[in-house]
Structure 1
């Protein structure tokens, strides 16, 4: 498949969105320009590495900072994921989605150029190099929760055609200089035809975030992203990982840990210890309840991302009370949370969370 054939999304040749004035643009970079920007992809410029390859910090001739994703090896699979990500990013513009600056396809080199996110990802602040600094205070966590919800809602309800991300997780929500959330990494994204409720596809994603109907049957829908987002909310609230290793052989999904505490209304015990008690209890309760209702096993009972935004931003306390009275939170209700341990066999190679380290500047 020719790479250029994928760009049938209403853009003019220079990357400007046709029919709209003053729209941001993307462009084609030369390999020479990206070598210069990243100091020949120097190790000291490396921001992170995953199954896809590496991401490097760079600086263009005009002084603007960029992040460059460089595919590790060329293959038909890598080429397709590269093409999908560029096409999706070229279609969408939203303040809570990572911005495409351009791409490069010279020889077998495949590189995607983004805006540089100086505060890396949620993972680096909850579990990585910045975890002990506790830069994510409670206000920032609430803003990240709402901002990432708005970015995903744009994909589900406002993009044409609608888009399923398929890999929502803490390492794929980046943070700009103001700690605003930017949903990233669209290599697994799927475009949903008008009128379709789901698409059946090969399972891709990350252990701990996969919705059960997707992990077992390959049925991908907007609701699968809602499930993954629910897990992300529980991470933000508690500071725990999506799956905690309790011993060499026992692992506990975060939702299975959180649900019994929520049923007993022990919300304070669920707060990230790194917050040192500096959080708004009513907001913590809201975040946990939305996270759990989103990560329940039955897709038809999950909210849409528009519902999630309303639950976060709505003035009515009645909706939150109705949420807390849902059967999922009854002490005698034994169903509702899917064990991510059960879908480990579905994990794709190359979907490992990106390891991040401090950029030496």
Structure 2
């Protein structure tokens, strides 16, 4: 027994055959996983910097566009032509007109947050990588004015805005997905592309294939299919692992101040790319030009979803406005929300362009309906004109007393009163001047106004206030009643050596308003239709109060709204009494001088808030 205790323990029995096979299988699985990870190392970059490095490698070296691209940096958000969003992910590459030559490498598909890729106006050749279709966030692809060849990848069907024009592409233009929304301009000047298969030369020269070749082709097809199936079977785990890895949350470090951009303060306001608006307007063609004014030209456009827009392209002298200042003005305009104000839909800002996007008004402006009415349109009747007078007054009143800071329009006229589908007044072009703080009584803005609508205090002293808009509104009422431009009314008044205000006042006193009234209204005015004569006189009286020479004497716009809604009798009588008293106190110096401050004792104004 003692001897047996001194012996070493017997070796354990060998594992069963099944256990040995299980261990071998685990080793093979680990080896396979190691191989897969090696493959993934080639597929996934360790950072977006590596993805951009691969993208840059496709172009000829030494290009100035890439001078700031430090590939040793932790992230590329400080590089020129690169825009990052929250989380320091690249959302935009803007390398248009940078004299790039070379090929577009497929590495770019790894920038999964990329929303806009702009490579227009270069000399990039080769095929368009189909991998671009794997960029799930990509919305805009601008590759026009390059030397791309080959067919248009069908994988691009998910990209909402693309321009592939002016290249050397070939083959049939796809029609599925978002391709069906695009106009020919997006693919123009590609001489070897065709709208459908029937236009393709290969379709016309096709010949029957001999049966022997057909048989061998079938065999080849089967073999190719089997090989492809095997490749997909091997690649599936890689793709699944890559998908899981990208969705796995990663710790990111970034400066919160860098994430704060002016755009985050603009709410739901949409920022359009310049190319989107170029496509919408057929490159700002003259056929889409709606008009022009002191700030710039206005174009009609159609977005990819079919909706119509009006685009105000600001003059070049406005481009000097700093980005932050421009965005601040856009923000204030976007906050002015009222049923009688034109709603800002979006904007576009580039180093050379400033554009504002609004809904398109099918009935255009009051000026157009008054003086350029088409054969299919009826002249505006009196109830509609009175409705327009009230709606525009409400809109301007909201600019003055419903916005903080208040907004001074400075160019109130019939051309800036738009009409919606129900002929409701919608005040447009507001806020394009500098915004006036409520603490000051005057402000110098960008709008110079329109002759006939500019009050004396601005012409002589450069002073403007909300009473400047009241004066312009009064002249607009004269336009509404007469159908004539403010400038034309000035000419008629000058024939009698008088201001428009004094000339119209004399017509009212002499009961000769038919001289002023639009010929389209004379029949109902002279026919004594129920209440029309009284309502015309009402609007004339309000316009006279608004166009007084003394700015403090003019009513506020909220008072104008009250007069239109409840009547003018009390205000008009007060003005008349004040005029008589002033004339007597001044020893007969004339009513025209006594009209200053003639409504100083009017009742307190009431705010006409949002409706």
TM-score (norm 2): 0.47
TM-aligned CA deviation for residue 51 of structure 1: 4.5
Compared with structure 1, are the counterparts of its residues 337 and 295 closer, same or farther at alpha carbon in structure 2 (3 Å cutoff)?
farther
Partners of 2:432 and 2:446 within 8 A in 1: no
Partners of 1:121 and 1:172 within 8 A in 2: yes
CA distance in 1, matches of 2:566, 2:478: 20
The Cα offsets for residues 90-146 of structure 1, whole Å up to 9 and x where unpaired, read as 221111111101011134122110011111111112233549954311111111111
Partners of 2:400 and 2:406 within 8 A in 1: yes
Matches within 5 A, 1:101-112: 101-112=345-356
Query: Per chain length, whose mean CA-contact separation is higher, i.e. which structure has more relative contact order (CA < 8 Å, sep 6+)?
Result: 1
Larger Rg: 2
CA distance in 2, matches of 1:78, 1:129: 38
Give the root-mean-square deviation of aligned CA atoms: 3.3
TM-aligned CA deviation for residue 237 of structure 1: 1.0
TM-aligned CA deviation for residue 234 of structure 1: 0.9
Matches within 5 A, 1:330-349: 333-335=591-593
CA distance in 2, matches of 1:79, 1:169: 29
Match of 2:558 in 1: 306
Partners of 2:432 and 2:447 within 8 A in 1: no
Match of 1:264 in 2: 510
Match of 2:276 in 1: 33
| Structure 1: runs of 5+ lacking an equivalent | 1-10, 17-24, 339-361
Matches within 5 A, 1:54-203: 54-73=297-316, 76=319, 86-130=330-374, 133-186=377-430, 188-199=432-443
Match of 1:297 in 2: 549
The secondary structure found in structure 2 opposite 1:114 is: strand
The secondary structure found in structure 2 opposite 1:277 is: helix
The Cα offsets for residues 232-264 of structure 1, whole Å up to 9 and x where unpaired, read as 1111111222122759x9697543431210122
The secondary structure found in structure 1 opposite 2:338 is: coil
Compared with structure 1, are the counterparts of its residues 153 and 260 closer, same or farther at alpha carbon in structure 2 (3 Å cutoff)?
same
CA distance in 2, matches of 1:101, 1:197: 30
Q: How many corresponding residue pairs? A: 319
CA distance in 1, matches of 2:508, 2:463: 29
Partners of 2:391 and 2:425 within 8 A in 1: yes
Structure having the larger proportion of residues in helix: 2
Structure having the larger proportion of residues in strand: 1
Compared with structure 1, are the counterparts of its residues 72 and 221 closer, same or farther at alpha carbon in structure 2 (3 Å cutoff)?
closer
Match of 2:454 in 1: 210
The Cα offsets for residues 328-356 of structure 1, whole Å up to 9 and x where unpaired, read as 9x9x6234789xxxxxxxxxxxxxxxxxx
CA distance in 2, matches of 1:192, 1:153: 15
TM-aligned CA deviation for residue 66 of structure 1: 0.5
TM-score (norm 1): 0.77
Compared with structure 1, are the counterparts of its residues 77 and 185 closer, same or farther at alpha carbon in structure 2 (3 Å cutoff)?
farther
